[in-house]
Structure 1
Amino acid sequence: MNRFTALFRSADPPTYALPAGTRAYAIGDVHGRRDLLEELLALIDAERSADPRPREHLILLGDLIDRGPESRGVVDLLLERQATDPSLTILGGNHEAMLVAMLDGNLRDLESWLHFGGEECATSYGLDPIALLVEPAAAPALLRTAIPEAHATLLRALPDSVRIGDVLFVHAGIRPGVALEAQDPQDLRWIRTPFLRSAADHGVLVVHGHTVVGEPEIHPNRIAIDTGASATGRLTALCLDGTERHFLATGA
């Protein structure tokens, strides 16, 4: 299905914007839905091809894996894209952080990970999730054997945030009142309530995922674009083009 909705276009220039001649597309939490990611990338590529900018950015906001059926397929797709698209930046989310921790032998979150979407991720790599629980001590070795080295290398190298002009792209959010350069990586991938409730001017516009919203939420200090793709079939991208904004989304 190739239908999409342009959900919002601002009438007035936002306070924070990208430099002139710069366009950035930010994609929310994919969560194992390669089908939706392919659909959304096709929409983005069509816009970029029809009306290019001098400087283009394509940013994924993390949580590439878990919940949906094709975690492995999503990573395969992004590795292919990374080889041909220098504008691509892939950020890490809390789900990638949990998987990397388990690859390194930290099993504290094994049961939680499997419950909150890791079961589908493990299955996509040919693993039996029950086997991971039955012998948790063997889980890191099983994961390392099943997950290709190129995938593990990518997941380990994902940055926590990227700033372009007046806009900070991050998975979960930031800790209000803490300088951007002093933010805790744990907050960047996990924070919710203190960030979501804050009306503070952070000195940047924060574009984030992590917390599911029915529609993209536009606040003076942040824009939330995780529309729950794995459950809703709706994967959302925010386009920031100088001082203009609009959204693209897959069909629900």
Structure 2
Amino acid sequence: MDVTNRTVFIAGATSGIGLELARRFAAAGSSVIVGGRRAGLLDRLAAEGFGTVAIDVTDQDSVDRARDAVLRSHPGLDTIVTMSGVMIPEDLRDPKHFDAAWQTIDTNLLGTIRVIDAFTPHLIGRGTGTVITVSSGIGFLPFPIMPTYAASKAGVHAYTEALRAQLDGTGVEVAELVPPAVATTPEQARLNPRALDLTEFATEVMDLLQADPTPHEILVKGVLMHRWAERDGTYADLVAQRSQALATLPGRQ
């Protein structure tokens, strides 16, 4: 895809990977609208020159208001990125984890669906455009301390595959960004030395996005071990390694 002349709405881009990609699209020459819940961060990004809109992807009315605002100010919108997500550890031995599970599914999976549904008629009406969903390497290689996060991202992957099939022939392409662990703050880099540097990750993503045709899955090198673990016969060993983090849950020490 050509990233130099797009009009891009990124839901959930006030920080982290979403914000870095917003800045990369803008630097390439695209117009970018950032959606998020935190008014203070939206104000700062507006001062940087971004379009901004308040959106809570767990609230259908909020999603509809955001869509209406974006399309009023940017009727040529052609690219949607569904970046919103939460990661919450859960102890499945404690039924109280269900609240975290619900919040995770409501944000990561249902939030993705709400945003896509809001903009799909516009993109189909244009006869061209791109939807980019964001799953995770954890959707293919679970991190047992975050079980519902893994399930939600596996769901995003499956939904993306179905969306691509259903939009075939409309002119709307569908791509799935599959990040591994990415250090979006110095603290995250300290806690997970294996996490990818955010700048390097974003550079690799933008390079992959510019391929023609756009890949169905945007897979940086650092996520390949996750994506192909079952194929490569490493799945069981890697899940066992990642299960060691369960010892850090309260009551398991």
Q: When the two structures are superposed, what TM-score results if normalisation uses the length of structure 1?
A: 0.32
Higher relative CO (CA 8 A, sep ≥ 6), structure 1 or 2?
1
Q: Greater helix percent: which structure?
A: 2
